[in-house]
Amino acid sequence: MPFELLHSETLLKGRAFTIRRDTLKTPDGRETKFDIVEHGGSVVIIPIDHEGNLLFVRQYRHAAGMDLLELPAGTRDGDEPFEVCAAREIREETGMEAGTLKHIGSFYLAPGYSTEYMGVFLAMELKSNPLQADDDEFLSIEKIPVKEAFSLAEHGDMPDAKSLAALLMARPHLEKYL
């Protein structure tokens, strides 16, 4: 017997997500509650330049209380297709446009409490074509050789889950740089 949804209520409607509380009946007949973050989906991009460098962004993350080195990423606007979101986000965050944007996978960011589903895109043939950054984003761009980026990830110096997952998915596409 699967879990059965008995009741769902919205607790908070925020700018980027909604929090709901679901009451479920467990397979053994008990009732339990789950607090779920409803999120419309997002993308993470692995931009690689013609010299074999990955473009990362460094930005302050208030929840972590520190600046983090991350791959460019962002949230979909409504039902915006994932590829359109990726094309927009790379321009907003790095100022670069991808001549080739290839979807290489997707994953749930934190399926224990969130519906957020991330599309992962490899961005190649980069050229300058910036878009205005979001008002709350203060980013610096860092070019890091592929081999060094994997070393940072493997040594725990990149504590951002989406960047780690995206690098793992991109590894077969980046072998020639390792």
Query: Identity (one letter) of the amino acid at 120?
Result: V
The fraction of the chain above a pLDDT of 90, given in percent, is: 90
For residues 95 and 18, the answer to whether their CB atoms sit within 8 Å is: no
For residues 75 and 133, the answer to whether their CB atoms sit within 8 Å is: no
* pTM of the complete model: 0.92
70-129 pLDDT per residue, tens: 999 999 999 999 999 999 999 999 999 999 999 999 999 999 999 999 999 999 999 999
Most confident of 4-8, 132-136, 173-177: 4-8
- Please report the pLDDT score of residue 178 as a whole number: 82
Single out the residue of 43, 143, 153, 142 nearest to residue 89, CA to CA: 43
Checking if the pLDDT of 11 tops 80, the result is yes
- Please report the pLDDT score of residue 131 as a whole number: 83
Checking if the pLDDT of 137 tops 90, the result is no
- Please report the pLDDT score of residue 100 as a whole number: 97
- Please report the pLDDT score of residue 145 as a whole number: 97
